[in-house]
Amino acid sequence: MEDKDLFDDSERPIQQRLQQQLSAIGYGRFLGGLMPIGGCNYMALALHREVGDRCNFSDRQMDRLLKLLPHFAQALRLSKSIACSRSAEALLRGHLERWECGLIVCDAEGQMLWRNQRAHDALNCSGGLRLRNGQLYASNAEAQQRLAAALRRQVGRSAPSFVALEAGGRRWQLALQELEPATSASADTLLLIAFTGDQPVGVIPAESLVTLFELTDAESRLTSALVAGVRLEEYAARRGVELSTVRYQLKQVLAKTGTRRQVDLVRQILCSAAARVVGPRQEIAPVGAH
C-alpha cells in the first residue's frame, strides 16, 4: 500500500501533516506491506523515497515488495524463535546452576560437554572424581572400571541407573540418565550424570524455613544447621549459647513442624520446597554470633 491507500479524501489534511513530519526527518513517499507472523503479531515493512522525489512507485516495485515480504517474515520468525530459545536456555542454565547436586552432561566415554557450578567445584577440590583432558575419571582403578561400565550400560536405556564409587576417601553416589536427542539426526549418545559425595552439598536457607514452617529466626538457623549435619553441641559452641538453650529451640521446632525426632525433622525439611534450591556450603554461624 502507498500513502494514498492509508487515508480517504476527508483525511487529506492529516496525511499532509504526517508527510511534513516524515519529511523533516528524511522520509519521503511511502510504500509498505503487512504480514502475519503468528498469533496476533504482524511484521510491517516500509519503504520511503528520498524527500522531494515525487515519482510514484511502479507496479514492478510493488510486485517485488510483495514477493519479498514472506522472506522477511520468515527471517523475523526465525529470529524470534532463536531469541526465545536463547532466553529459555539462559533460564534453564540459571536453574541448573542452583541445583543441589553436581550435574554433568557427557558422552558414553565420559567426555564432558557441560557441568554446573557444583560439579565444577567438586571435581576441582575432591580428588576422587576429576577431569582429565575433559574426560570424567575416578582416582583409583576399581572406581574407574565401575564408572566406565556404568556409562556403557546406560546407552540405550530409558530408565536411570545408579552407581556408588569409593574414590579419594569419599563415597560418591551417581545417577545416570540418557538424554533424548535434540533432533532425529543427532547420532551421539549424551548422558546426564547427577552426583553427590558423602558430605552435604549445601545449606538450606534459614529464611525459607521461617516462611514454610513459621519458625523464628533462631529456630530456622538451628534447623538449617541440623540438616547440614551440625551436632547440637557444635552448634551451641558456634553460636556462643548454652546447650540447654539450643535443646529448647529444637523442642520448639519439633512442635511447630509436627515431628517427634530429629531424624524425622531432617527428613521433612529435605522433602520440602526449601531443599529444592540450597545455598552454598559455608560456615553455618561464627562463634559468638547472635
* Least trusted range by pLDDT, from 85-94, 137-146, 221-230: 85-94
At 68-111, the pLDDT tens digits run 888 888 888 788 777 776 776 677 666 677 666 889 999 999 99
In the chain, CATH 3.30.450.20 covers: 99-196
Residues of the chain with CATH 1.10.10.10: 206-275
Considering the domain 206-275 in this protein, what is its CATH number? 1.10.10.10
* Residue 288 pLDDT: 41
Q: Is there a contact between 194 and 101 (Cβ–Cβ < 8 Å)?
A: yes
* Superfamily of domain 99-196 in the CATH hierarchy: PAS domain (3.30.450.20)
Residue 185 burial (C-beta neighbours within 10 Å; 0-12, 13-18, 19+): exposed
Lowest mean pLDDT among 121-125, 138-142, 202-206, 214-218: 202-206
pLDDT over 90 at 250, yes or no: yes
Is the pTM of the predicted complex or chain greater than 0.85?
A: no
Q: Which of 10-14, 76-80, 178-182, 254-258 has the highest mean pLDDT?
A: 254-258
| Contact residues for 192 (Cβ-Cβ < 8 A; gap 6+) | 103, 104, 105, 176, 177, 178, 179
